[in-house]
Amino acid sequence: MPFHLFERFGIEIEFAVVDRASLRVAPVVDRILQLAASLPNARVESESVPGWPDEIALGPITLGNELTAHVLELKVSEPAPSLDGLSDHFAAALASLRPALDRLGVMLLPSGMHPTMDPDREMVLWPHANSEVYRAFDRIFGCKGHGWANLQSCHLNLPFANDDEFGRLHAAIRALLPIMPALSASTPFMDGKSTGLLDNRLEVYRLNSRRVPQAAGLVIPERVYTHADYQRVILGEVYAGYAPHDPDGLLRDEWANARGAIARFGRGTIEIRVLDSQECPRADLAIASSVASVTRAIAEGRLGNPPALRAWAVEPLHAILLDVIRDADQATLSLTPFLRDLGYSGPCPAPAGAVWAELLDRALAGSRPAWRTDAERILASGCLARRISRATPSPADIPHTYRALAGCLEHNQFFGT
């Protein structure tokens, strides 16, 4: 039975596994999952290759693999009726993994990218379940690059039950998508240096499938608001783009769509992919809750001008996204008609962080859920990328900063606020 709008929520958070001494990526997620299978109350959810589980449920949180062997994913085991309290479940699951990590001499490194990884030398594809899909991606795109091998994100899944709900939800998400990284940008470093961008993960993500440009498009989804139109305008083009490179049709599935938000009609959700992972689950959930609250207010017609938002073309939204990839919360948003259609009433131009502060205030209408204080803390202190940059005056300081981030993850604490 499909869930209606905002009846359930899905969260997935990815982390890099690194050697505890050197901080280099450690492609040992398969061994972590093996060890996790023996934890109290652990349940093997999937074991496509005997002896190598690829999903382990630890109560409300499930562990799994990703394309590369050094990235570990944690997700809710079942769609949750509320985002409230989920950060505690993620923190408990992470705590239960510490003995396994210690045994292997590794730890988890948060944020959306490893700051010094050399993907050409260090990338190892996941070798077990679904490896044929990963090999197909590698054959087509060459996954030894940051855009495939060095990405950690937080995915927010929001449900819809029918075409009307899909249209309202998709319209709200695609309008907010360009400014979501203002909250979540966490990747100021790549190849051991500052690049001048605050969201390097999104920058490399948006360019990683250039050989099949239909796969990601311009990251912002096209103006489609029904299942039939989505199949025709988006998925039809995605599948046609892959066809010459994928004669066996391995990639002919909804997840092969690489836009910043993708419709999963098979499970009745839209998956938001533009959020970088943060320093701790509290921060991830505060950002996801902020995005969900403002999305809901727009989808329900309580905020902004939903009919006008549907009409915005991809290109101006993409231009805003590029500005936010560069400057995140301090990106100057100058497209006044768009801001008014979102529901922002303050002075224009405006920094993206100020726009989020007003939209969140109006969406919550005076209510103060437990996560709101954390969201306000992020808005006041700046996105994680800005806080990392402040704490890292030179490349030589990167190891110190990222060890501190790892400590934040272990204790579910904020960094630099």
pLDDT (tens place) for every residue of the chain, 417 residues total: 689 999 999 999 999 999 999 999 999 999 999 999 999 989 999 888 888 999 999 999 999 999 999 999 999 999 999 999 999 999 999 999 999 999 999 999 999 999 999 999 999 999 998 889 999 999 999 999 999 999 999 999 999 999 999 999 999 999 999 999 999 999 999 999 999 999 999 999 999 999 999 999 999 999 999 999 999 999 999 999 999 999 999 999 999 999 999 999 999 999 999 999 999 999 999 999 999 999 999 999 999 999 999 999 999 999 999 999 999 999 999 999 999 999 999 999 999 999 999 999 999 998 999 999 999 999 999 999 999 999 999 999 999 999 999 999 999 999 998
- Tens-place pLDDT, residues 233-287: 999 999 999 999 999 999 999 999 999 999 999 999 999 999 999 999 999 999 9
Report how far apart, in Å, the C-alpha atoms of 168 and of each of 9, 139, 269, 291, 311 are.
17, 37, 12, 15, 13
Count the alpha carbons within 13 Å of 11 in the hemisphere toward its beta carbon: 27
Residue 7 DSSP code: S
Q: Under CATH, to which class is 10-389 assigned?
A: alpha beta
142 CB-contact burial (10 Å; exposed 0-12 / middle 13-18 / buried 19+):
middle
Strand partners, 193: 190
Using one digit for the tens of pLDDT, what is the confidence trace for 73-120?
999 999 999 999 999 999 999 999 999 999 999 999 999 999 999 999
Residue 139: strand, helix, or coil = helix
The residue with tokens 């993960």 is: 201
Token pair of 253 as six digits: 């599935």
Helix 86-104 crosses helix 398-411 at what angle (to 10 degrees)? 120
Please give the single-letter amino acid code of residue 397.
D
The H or E element spanning position 17 is strand 10-19
- pLDDT for 70 equals 98
Identify the pLDDT of residue 129.
83
* DSSP type of residue 235: I
What's the full length of the chain, in residues? 417
Helix 281-299 and helix 372-381, axial crossing angle in degrees, nearest 10 = 100
- CB neighbourhood size of 59 (10 A): 14
Q: Is 119 left (phi over 0), alpha (psi -120 to 50) or beta?
A: alpha
Cα 216 to Cα 209, 227, 288, 325, distances in angstroms:
7, 19, 22, 16
Dist CA 363 CA 372 (whole Å): 12
CA 320 to chain centre: 18
Separation between Cα atoms, residue 272 and residue 250, nearest integer Å: 23
Strands 106-109 and 71-76: unpaired
What string of DSSP letters covers 243-307?
A: GGG-TT-TT-SGGG--SSEEEETTTTEEEEEEEEP-SSHHHHHHHHHHHHHHHHHHHTTSSS-HH
Residue with tokens 């101006």: 316
Q: Distance between CA atoms of 344 and 339, rounded to whole angstroms?
A: 5
The model scores a pTM over 0.95: yes
Which pLDDT value is given to residue 349? Answer: 98
Phi, psi for residue 406 in degrees, rounded to 5: -60, -35
The pLDDT assigned to 325 comes to: 98
Question: In degrees rounded to 5, what are phi and psi of residue 57?
Answer: -90, 125
What pLDDT is attached to residue 131?
87
Helix (H) or strand (E) holding 55: strand 55-58
At position 126, the amino acid (one-letter code) is W
Characterise 382 by phi-psi region: left (phi > 0), alpha (psi -120 to 50), beta (else): left
Choose among 128, 140, 141: nearest CA to 68.
128
